[in-house]
Amino acid sequence: MTRIYNQSDGKQQPQETKQTTTNLQSEAENYKKTIPETNQAPQNSQWRNNVYRNKLYKFRVEFPKGWEYDDGTTKSTLARALNREYAAAISVTVTHLPDQPKNPNNIFESMPLQNYTSQFNELLALQNTKAENLNIEKSALNNFPAYVIDFTRKVSSGT
């Protein structure tokens, strides 16, 4: 809600306006269209027990043993591990950068940590989600620079 002050009678009187949900959804959809889709073709994915491998993006990741594994539920998730007992999840997502990267093999050069963190928070806000205990660190995935994101969030069951 935004307050706009009007001074027609010399006094400030609050005049309230609301940005509609439709406008926010439209803004989010327009932003999503600028980002290329993640290739989730099944022929690129391979599960072997708790190890996921992706041939197209050329990486593999080993998840904790004994968890449940699936391909995730979002358009950018390639693999996910769930531990229902501890309400924990690990997701591997691939999001293409909307601009031409400076160095396609080095995300640290293409998008510094501060910019990446800012963009990550913007994407969460578009999903009406706020990260708690957010920690983004430089790491490597298949010997390529990668950011590892660790955070918690509150989820409502809707009941």
Domain count of the fold of the chain:
1
Assess if residue 7 is contained within a domain.
no
What DSSP assignment string belongs to 63-121?
PPTTSEEE--SSTTEEEEEEETTTTEEEEEE----SSPPS-TT-HHHHS-HHHHHHHHH
* Residue 22 three-state SS: helix
Assess if residue 126 is contained within a domain.
yes
Joined together, the tokens standing for residue 116 give 């990446």
**Span 51-97, pLDDT tens digits:** 999 999 888 999 999 999 999 888 788 999 999 998 888 888 887 76
Give the best-scoring range by mean pLDDT among 12-16, 27-31, 96-100, 150-154.
Answer: 150-154
Assess if residue 141 is contained within a domain.
yes
Assess if residue 100 is contained within a domain.
yes
Res 150 pLDDT > 70? yes
Assess if residue 93 is contained within a domain.
yes
Assess if residue 24 is contained within a domain.
yes
Res 27 pLDDT > 60? yes
Residue with more model confidence, 38 or 15: 38
Per DSSP, what are the bridge partners of residue 149?
A: 136
Residue 131: domain span = 20-152
